[in-house]
Amino acid sequence: MNVLCLDLEGVLVPEIWPAVARRTGIDALNQTTRDIPVYDDLMRMRLDVLHRHDVALTTIRAVIGALAPLAGAEDFLAWARARFQVAVLSDTFYDFAKPLMAKLGHPLLLCHRLEVANDRIIGYRLRQADPKRQAVRGFQSMNYRVLAAGDSFNDISMLEQADFGVFVNAPAGVRERHPAFDAVEGLPALKERLAAAQEAEG
């Protein structure tokens, strides 16, 4: 049996932080891992912006609760679960992801945790260093073949470590800096590419 590792935001659900930017009117929160490759740099910027604008965790959760999965995401996951063990590897936080996971049928999610005080985000704790690569290595250490799909700079280590990696919905800037990976647009195209990779493996 193969394991399929998927990024969350931009692949199965909309990007969370741009949605928060639209709700709050804070343009700086539009930046994601598609724009800033170093995750710690991105999160430090976000925490500073949230602090300066006094944005409550309750506000962010309300935005997330109103989001719906991307078109076709539930059907794609149903297809994938019939063919692979499926794990979502994300740089989001459990505090954010719960309502989205419920809408996706509660797939396995490996992500991070927030530090919160008085309804304000004051910090965060990564699950481990280079978490997406390490998760793929963990599956491989159990003799699973790993296929992976993601859309951002923070997915590169996952795609590099996987036995098969592909970009889905990745912006041109990400694809151009990492031309070694195949790239598809949309979940139907991803389904076809994964099916072909599985068939080629035999």
Crossing angle of the two packed helices 94-103 and 57-65, in degrees rounded to 10: 20
The predicted model scores a pTM of 0.94
Does residue 122 sit within a domain?
no
Domain encompassing residue 131: 2-12+71-112+127-201
Report yes or no on 17 lying in a domain: no
44 Cβ contact list (under 8 Å, min separation 6) = none
User: What is the tally of structural domains in the chain?
Assistant: 1
Active site members: 7, 9
**Quick check: is 51 in a domain?**
no
- From first to last of its 202 residues, the chain has per-residue pLDDT tens of 899 999 999 999 999 999 999 999 999 999 998 888 889 999 999 999 999 999 999 999 999 999 999 999 999 999 999 999 999 999 999 999 999 999 999 999 999 999 999 999 999 999 999 999 999 999 999 999 999 999 999 999 999 999 999 999 999 999 999 999 999 999 999 999 999 998 887 6
In-domain check, residue 171: yes
Q: Is residue 94 assigned to a domain?
A: yes
- Other beta carbons less than 10 A from residue 135's beta carbon: 22
Q: How many CB atoms lie under 10 A from the CB of residue 10?
A: 22
CATH number at residue 102: 3.40.50.1000
Q: Do the domain assignments include residue 6?
A: yes
Please check whether residue 65 lies inside any domain of the structure. Answer: no
Asked if residue 186 is part of any domain, the answer here is yes
